[in-house]
Amino acid sequence: MSSIPERNEIETEYTWDLSGIYTDAAEWESAYESVQDQLTDLKEYEGHVTESPSTLLELLEQREEIFRTLATVSTYANLRSAEDTRDQESQARQSKAESLSSRARSAISFIEPELQELDSEEISSFCEREPALKQYEHFFDDVLRAKPHTRSSEVESVLADLGEIASSPSDIYGMLSNADMTFPTVDHPDPGEDTIEITLGNFTKLQKHPDRAFRQTVYEQFYDEWKDVRNTVGTALQNSVKKDVKYARARRYESARAASLDGPNVPVTVYDTLCETVRDNLEHLHRHARLKQAALNLNELRPWDLYISLTGDESPKIPYDRATTYITDAVAPLGSEYQQRVADGLESRWVDVYENRGKRSGAFSSGAYDTQPFILMNYQDDISSMFTLAHELGHSMHSELAKNAQPWQYADYTIFVAEVASTVNETLLTNHLLETLEDDTLRLHILDEYLERVRSTLYRQTMFAEFESTIHEIIEEGGALTPDRFDEIYCDLKETYYEPAVLDDRIAREWMRIPHFYYSFYVYQYATGISAAIAIVDQIDTDGEDAAEDYRSALELGGSAYPIDILQTAGVDMTDAAPIESALTGYADYLDQMEALVK
């Protein structure tokens, strides 16, 4: 049987190196206890935050010391947990870190309400009297902006304490899908080959296999497995939505969506403009579906055909080491320093490359201010995995540039900007490979992959965004969410977006396998991100180093400005529909190229 290896069977060079964070569990425990001990010191400042500029500075510096260590403690715990979700010691460590984070947020919950007792002129006076406070000016502006939605110190403390419990729906879903669920083993379509175990990590790859009957078998058995846990997943998602709504009401927002977007100061109109613009351009997605049906000579396009390449073949093999070369070469337009840092990171084990049993599914980039970046992959030796690696390296390089340019309090950045950095790398990789590859078959697959990424990132994530809005509105209006209701809402959207396809009842369960629905109003940022990224790459193609410098400068801003303003530094205005329309036009142009090649 083609089984998933245990972690100790993976070669060390293809695993990340966490020894640079803590050498062992004992060292982690010592850092954990140091944070725990320091939290009590913060209580001395309660009621005295604005007593004097020097007191405020002292408090903010104490906060930094504690939370810098806490970030490292949490990062290590999360990465160890992701290596093998079955490892009880690692899960216990992560649980302790989450609990400590919740207590830490509670311990500083008095800071913002007390700061909001001052007005902007009084804050300015503090900064004049204590010049070291000037580095916090954006932080102060953000705090005062949130004043209408900040509660008393007592209420803020309670809300912070509830943070650990509030993550329960996501935690339960993660343990169910990554640790407890097992999927069937299916016969390989080729005679003499081993059987294949379906996993969350390889499902999409198996849906790209050229044997249609095999794809259908994988699809049906995968979604039949989800049917058996629909009540658990439905309850988890319903409670996640309720949590979002209750937190929004506690902070006096008109909706959970408004609360979520106000965090990074993104206007709600950005969300609406995205959904409306994509809805108005569904004909491009429908054309893509019809082109796939024609290219594959199918009487009907079914759900198990949606991922297959227009070539009708599986992705050519792209070994990990070759992928890293392609990616390093592709980012050259971003400057030699950027390119060299990517190469160095890949050489110094930033990446945990291959799937192992119990490993968290999907991919992510992580790290803290005082660590190097770390990337989790479940690399499948295909084009899709290569693009995912480029995507995560975009996040990692964003972190590197931001923390090298900014003090601790501004090194982090919002997801709204983060998803631009990741997709710029994907777009550069596409352009590089289409310009340099001589293998026509590989070029055809690269073009197909890019079309699929626009489909899945711009269209599919916008469909997800509509789903999120709808299910939150139901709870906000006093309605109820059941597994059947989730199915109905999701299936209606799927039928609208994928109109040319003939869908079945199983596709209605697709919402069950999307972990991002537990991250309140997260997914729309993939769609805005790819739109902004395509615009930025177009500018770099036109203006060269000047545009690349503007883009790097935007990344270096980290969280020192609001995301809409940061993207304007890179030459993109996401309050307007123009970047989205431009990305959709580019998608249509690539469809023209693909149609000509297929014919």
* 457 SS3 class: helix
CA distance 492 to 447: 30
392 catalytic? Reply is yes
405-429 core/surface letters (b: 16 or more CB in 10 A; e: else): bbebbbbbbbbbbbbbbbbbbbbbb
* 2 SS3 class: strand
Query: Beta 364-366 vs 185-186: how paired, if at all?
Result: unpaired
For every residue of 405-433, DSSP letters joined together read HS-HHHH---HHHHHHHHHHHHHHHHHHH
Beta strands in 303-455 (DSSP E): 351-352, 364-366, 374-376
CA distance 247 to 208: 41
Give first-to-last CA distance, the chain, whole Å.
39
> What separation in angstroms does the CA of 296 have from each of 219, 308, 436, 507, 599?
18, 9, 27, 21, 12
> What separation in angstroms does the CA of 279 have from each of 432, 465, 466, 584?
31, 12, 10, 11
Half-sphere exposure of 303 (CA within 13 A, CB side): 18
CA distance 406 to 560: 8
Query: Beta 374-376 vs 351-352: how paired, if at all?
Result: parallel
Residue 177 DSSP class = I
For residue 404, report the phi and psi dihedrals to the nearest 5 degrees. -75, -20
- How many C-beta atoms lie closer than 10 Å to residue 249's C-beta? 14
Dihedral sign of CA atoms 348, 370, 360, 517 in order: negative
249's tokens: 């009401």
List the catalytic residue out of 83, 112, 156, 392: 392
CA distance 309 to 303: 13
> What separation in angstroms does the CA of 305 have from each of 13, 157, 215, 515?
36, 50, 8, 23
Active site residues: 392
